[in-house]
Amino acid sequence: MVIIQGIALLLLILSLFTLFSYKAPSGMKAMGALAGAAIASFLVEAFNAYAIGGLLPLDLYEEVGKAAGTLSGPAAASLVAIALGINPVYAVMMGVSVAGFGILPGFFAGYILALAGSRINRHLPTGVDMIFYVVVMAPLARLIAIGVDPVVSGTLSQIGAVIELAATQSPIVMGLVLGGVVTVVSTSPLSSMALTAMLGLTGVPMAISALALTASITMNFFLFRQLKIGTKKDQLSVAIEPLTQADLISANPIPIYSVNFVGGAIAGLIVAMTGMINDAPGSAAGIPGLLVMYGFNDWTTVTFTAAGLLVLGTGFGLLGSRVFRNFPITRAAQKEEETEEKAA
């Protein structure tokens, strides 16, 4: 029952954020900024506090990582407001006002006030707008964060706890589901880092999420190369960070999503069977996730598992390119022509 509840809640969260991305005003821009906030805070934390600071006696790196991890809320509020057109200085005003809150309260504060601010700005003279943001918008940002924190953060934390419990009770099933889902999410505007950070995943589920994406490094590289999606630069970029090629991925969703889901599911199953853990929420990214794993597990287990996953990813990338070799593919040149036509 717990495993079914965990899977259902995970799919519900994905559905809600997908709906927000495509239906909410400037939803795609806001979600892109949320992914950026996860990178600016949780990626810095994962690399410095757990990968470098956890393996080497370098206190500075550990301090930097821990400091960055506590600023996900201000980063989200600032970046979302900037993405929606608010003056960067005013956006940072709202961002620093939500210090002490997590990534989602900051996200909602920045999003709601950016939508309101973009309309109010039209009626405020230069100079007056600055006073308005200092006296009104900054306190409002914190008030919104205080209001949404118990509901949003508390609910997602409970969902994350259910997923962790489900992974403990049935690691094989959760490895298949979580590995497949997170790998697909990594190629979508939602961002796997933002998702795992919002859910606060730790332990086995976070290890599954991190190393499943290690397999996607070679999987996406060979899939792009064999199907001739994008240039050589694009093929390398998608291996390092799939979000950099979001336009080409969204233009070819069927081959990319299907191969990533199946390959990620098998990778997640393998990771679940090793019993490795990862206590760095938000480290769901191919290379960073792999490096962070060394901070929590025996280095030989991590190294041999990662090597096997890279081989697995290569196999699925080549196999997927064979399966979809006759499938109509939208390539970089075609995508550029379509964009120019829409602009015209």
How many domains is the chain built from? 1
Other CB atoms within 10 A of residue 63 CB: 13
| In-domain check, residue 147 | no
| In-domain check, residue 254 | yes
| In-domain check, residue 135 | no
| In-domain check, residue 223 | yes
| In-domain check, residue 288 | yes
158-214: pLDDT as tens digits: 777 777 777 777 888 888 888 888 888 887 766 787 778 777 888 888 999 999 999
Range of the domain at 247: 170-344
Q: Report the predicted TM-score, pTM, of the whole model to 2 decimal places.
A: 0.75
| In-domain check, residue 290 | yes
71-120: pLDDT as tens digits: 989 999 999 999 999 999 999 999 999 998 988 899 999 999 999 988 88
Sequence-distant (≥ 6) Cβ neighbours of residue 270 within 8 angstroms: 175, 305, 308, 309, 312
| In-domain check, residue 323 | yes
